């Protein structure tokens, strides 16, 4: 088939490469000329495990990028759906739909991969596309097919994870299932479009709630003067208990984002909303504890270790570190940052530091020479929001929830 993938980001590009290396002709479309140029110069535009290799194979098979849509058999929309002021911003989905309209013809399959508010595919998208006088489900096929691949292991999970497809009718589901079977080795389950949209946001919302509970236990443990990390580890010995890990908040463009897609559609999402509020409050909780540590110090220097939203990645989208820095600066504290994944850095930033605040659990932080770091600090305070269990001597080493 000839497949047109709109949106060549963290999911769109790997997906395009998987189709292009499994027997299909693929054209990638993006609004960013730099991305288009890099791809056509055989340069992979971003880092992801194993992506460069499959990208180069796709390129050799004829995969190219363009700013414009072309006549195709299949159109896949994989554009971002960020949250703006706690509401889903779907304008990129609609502009991608407008780009497809002039090319939509009988027999086409349209696939929405982007995470959206439940109801988008069968109401908004179907109505837009049917302005072409073609009927969804009969003249062309329409499905929602969400991705659930974790950044850092995207290609493996796109291939081996089970996949959910939700179509406007069975014929649409059959078409999409046949197409994805060319690379998906997990099981493919089919349902209706709105169920598939809800399933996707349920997955990430459930994780956000579990993280919020872990964070709430961290604050309770402090009041009880017990160690929340030990408590969770022991509670999880129960065969059916799996409490997640506390932290300085929830970042990334998924877990921190998807719950808002449900909250905006119904007043019933009370616990879901409260979990978001708890997780969004964690940077303030961390700041409160750091402020107490440096309270007696005149004009304290704080050094944040970790800008990325989670360990061992370079992605800072929605990162709690950025929120913590904003709060600390608003209180007039001097802030330096250190994150070798995110920017060229050297450890000179810790000179004269009064407190190092670990907000991302990068493994490389364990291999640092903490003794020499301590010798350069003005006050040897460390606040650890990720329970790194560092072996530090002669430091005032505090951990969240302990
Ligand atoms: N976090 C905690 N405590 C935990 C787990 C995570 O504080 O116990 C924090 C992380 O530090 C990070 C944030 O939550 O700031 C999100 O990280 P994550 O590892 O939970 O997940 P993401 O955002 O990298 O990927 C998630 C995954 N969804 C689920 O695990 C249900 C992934 O499978 C999805 O495909 C992805 O969202 C997505 O694209 O939707």
pLDDT in the model for residue 47: 85
Using a pLDDT cut of 70, give the percent of the chain over it: 100
pLDDT in the model for residue 22: 98
pLDDT in the model for residue 151: 83
Residues near ligand 1 with C-beta < 6 Å? Answer: 148-151, 203-204, 207, 211, 244-245, 247, 250-252, 254-255, 309-310
pLDDT digits (tens, 9 = 90+) for 48-74: 899 999 999 999 999 999 999 999 999
Most informative mutation of 243, 252, 341, 387 for ligand 1 (most atoms within 8 A of CB): 252
Q: What is the DSSP-derived secondary structure letter of residue 380?
A: -
Please tell me the distance between residue 354's alpha carbon and the centre of ligand 1 in angstroms.
31
Using 70 as the pLDDT threshold, list the residues of the chain that sit under it.
Answer: none
- Cα separation, 62 vs 54, in Å, equals 13
pLDDT digits (tens, 9 = 90+) for 226-249: 999 999 999 999 999 999 999 999
Please tell me the distance between residue 370's alpha carbon and the centre of ligand 1 in angstroms.
29
Q: Which atom of ligand 1 is nearest to the CA of 147?
A: 35
Kindly list the distances between the CA atom of residue 367 and the CA atoms of 103, 289, 362, 373, 399, in Å, as whole numbers in the listed order: 55, 25, 10, 12, 18
Phi/psi at 312 (nearest 5 deg)? 60, 25
pLDDT in the model for residue 238: 98
Q: Which atom of ligand 1 is nearest to the CA of 115?
A: 40
Q: Which atom of ligand 1 is nearest to the CA of 150?
A: 32
Give me 380's structure tokens: 């040897």
Contact (Cβ atoms closer than 8 angstroms) between residue 279 and residue 244: no
For 207, half-sphere exposure in the C-beta direction (CA atoms, 13 angstrom radius) is: 15
Phi/psi at 242 (nearest 5 deg)? -145, 75
pLDDT in the model for residue 363: 96
pTM: 0.92
Give me 191's structure tokens: 């349902």
pLDDT in the model for residue 300: 96
**Contact residues for 79 (Cβ-Cβ < 8 A; gap 6+):** 6, 7, 9, 12, 92, 93, 95, 96, 114
Q: By alpha-carbon position, which residue is closest to atom 18 of ligand 1? A: 255
Catalytic positions: 200, 254
């Amino acid at each position: 088939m000839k497949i047109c993938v709109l949106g060549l980001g963290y999911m769109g590009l790997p997906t395009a490469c998987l189709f292009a290396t499994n027997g299909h002709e693929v054209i990638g479309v993006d609004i960013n000329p730099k991305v288009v140029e890099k791809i056509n110069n055989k340069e992979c535009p971003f880092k992801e495990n194993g992506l460069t290799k499959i990208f180069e194979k796709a390129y050799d098979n004829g995969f190219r990028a363009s700013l414009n849509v072309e006549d195709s058999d299949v159109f896949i929309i994989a554009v971002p759906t960020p949250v703006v002021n706690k509401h889903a911003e779907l304008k990129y989905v609609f502009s991608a739909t407008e780009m497809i309209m002039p090319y939509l013809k009988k027999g086409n399959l349209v696939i929405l991969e982007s995470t959206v508010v439940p109801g988008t595919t069968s109401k908004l998208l179907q109505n837009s596309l049917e302005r072409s006088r073609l009927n969804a489900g009969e003249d062309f096929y329409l499905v929602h097919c969400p991705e659930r691949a974790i950044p850092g292991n995207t290609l493996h999970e796109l291939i081996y994870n089970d996949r959910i497809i939700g179509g406007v009718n069975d014929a649409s589901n059959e078409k999409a299932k046949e197409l994805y079977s060319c690379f998906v080795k997990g099981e493919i389950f089919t349902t209706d479009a709105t169920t598939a949209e809800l399933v996707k946001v349920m997955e990430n919302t459930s994780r956000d709630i579990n993280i919020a509970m872990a964070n709430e236990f961290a604050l309770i443990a402090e009041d009880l003067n017990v160690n929340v990390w030990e408590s969770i580890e022991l509670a999880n010995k129960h065969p059916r208990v799996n409490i997640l890990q506390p932290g300085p908040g929830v970042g990334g463009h998924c877990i921190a984002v998807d719950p808002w897609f449900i909250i905006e559609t119904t007043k019933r999402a009370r616990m879901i909303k409260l979990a978001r509020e708890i997780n969004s409050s964690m940077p303030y909780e961390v700041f409160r504890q750091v402020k107490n540590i440096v309270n007696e110090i005149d004009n304290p220097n704080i050094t944040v270790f970790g800008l990325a939203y989670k360990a061992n990645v370079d992605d800072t989208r929605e990162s709690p570190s950025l929120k913590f820095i904003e709060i600390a600066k608003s209180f007039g504290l001097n802030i330096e940052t250190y994150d070798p994944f995110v920017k060229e850095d050297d450890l000179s930033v810790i000179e004269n530091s009064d407190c190092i605040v670990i907000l991302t659990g990068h493994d490389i932080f364990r291999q640092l020479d903490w003794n020499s770091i301590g010798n350069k600090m003005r006050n040897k305070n460390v606040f650890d929001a990720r329970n790194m269990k560092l072996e530090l001597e002669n430091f005032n080493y505090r951990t969240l929830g302990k």
